[in-house]
Amino acid sequence: MDSTYAGSAAKARILKGELLSDEDIERILDAKTPTDIIALMDGTPYQEHLKALSTFYSGYDLLELASTRRMITFVLKIVESPPAGGLEPIRSYISRWDIDSIKSIITSKFLGKKVEKEDLFIVDAGRFPIGMTSNLITKEDYSLMINENDVEGITKYLTKLGYGVYMLRFLDEYRKEKDISILLYALDIAYFSRLIDSIKFFRGDEEPLRHYFREQVDIKNITTAIKAKDLRLDFPAISSGIIEYGNITLNQIRDMYSSLDAMAMKESALKIFGVDESVDIKNIDLGDLEVIIRKYAFRKNIPNLASQSSSLGAIFNSIILAENERNNLRRIFASKAHGLEKDQIKKMLVL
């Protein structure tokens, strides 16, 4: 097996050429109906997925599911032949879709809702395979989790897959508070722990990628802290939900939390993540703030990864761009379904 990333990086760059252009996104934003968007997708890699799913779905549901299936197909092409040092990081990264599936099952079980296999994040290979090939969780695992009686049953089942070990630490707290958010945070901790630990210095040029993922942790931690500040919670109440794999330490977040009010924390967050545009903090909510920060982190880091022509960073550059395209399309489809105007939708996109 090739001990460098050159071959896989070259394949990833070729596949990147299949992604939608900025002009394509503009045309989709201007489209009036789902039928218009489907017509725009003719001749793109989305066409085959729209065709495969059109028997079962229509309208914006069809477009959303096709975008997910397209992303998965893209990523799996890269996974087919990763270099020796790149397989585990890629597997760790795509485990996020397994975690999304687990979160959907746990949330549905907690709310007493039936989980259907047609739900967005449940595996159905004949239509839209969300669980990723070469990952830990099988279709049988999903079925068994769905059939568990309660959240605790799912947590204990997940111990054999590695995720439950993190969740068990917070099981007593869940029993006491009956709040599943702490178990969902535990899954995030499991994800980032595995991911960042998997990116070893195989060739010595992996640090920009590690920095990118640590910054994703920072964004999650800071927005969690700001939300808690808005709710006037004491820091100990949220400390277990802070993920200790970011560039910003737990102590730094604690110091910020104790010395700043919510408004000042938002302003500080903009500075930390290098946002240099004028932002009216008083008139944006936390969701808008997070989108702005993610845009800047994306624009700063993605070109750095792309510039590493034969590296793990170059491979992940294509994977991250494919995921971002899918996320942007989902925002567009959901927003159009709710009647939002183009300018409103565009503010939500990470471009």
Domain check: are 23 and 127 in the same one? no
pLDDT score of 137: 77
- The answer to whether residues 52 and 139 belong to one domain is no
CB atoms within 10 A of CB 292: 19
Enclosing domain of residue 12: 1-84+313-351
SS3 per residue for 112-150: CCCCCCCCCCCCCCCCCCCCCCCCCCCHHHHHHHHCCCC
pTM (predicted TM-score): 0.88
Domain of residue 295, CATH code = 1.20.1690
Q: Do residues 241 and 343 share a domain?
A: no
Read off the pLDDT of residues 125-167 as tens digits, 9 standing for 90 and up. 455 444 554 456 777 888 888 889 999 999 999 998 889 999 9
Q: Is there a single domain that holds both residue 69 and residue 91?
A: no
CA 337 from centre of chain: 22
Buried-exposed string 111-134: b where 16+ CB fall within 10 A, e elsewhere: eeeebeeebebbbbeebbbbbbee
133 and 79 belong to one structural domain: no
Please indicate, yes or no, whether residues 96 and 188 belong to a single structural domain of this protein: yes
Q: Looking at residue 39, what is its pLDDT?
A: 97
- Which tens digits make up the pLDDT trace of 203-252? 778 889 999 999 999 999 999 999 999 999 999 988 888 898 899 999 99
What is the domain count for the chain? 3
Residues 6+ apart with CB under 8 A from 128: 53, 65, 68, 69, 72, 120
% pLDDT > 90, the chain: 54
pLDDT < 50 regions, the chain: 1-2, 118, 120-123, 125, 128-130, 133-134
Does one domain contain both 140 and 169? Answer: yes
Backbone angles phi, psi at 157, to 5 degrees: -60, -35
Shared-domain flag, residues 162 and 100: yes
For residue 136, what pLDDT is reported?
Answer: 65
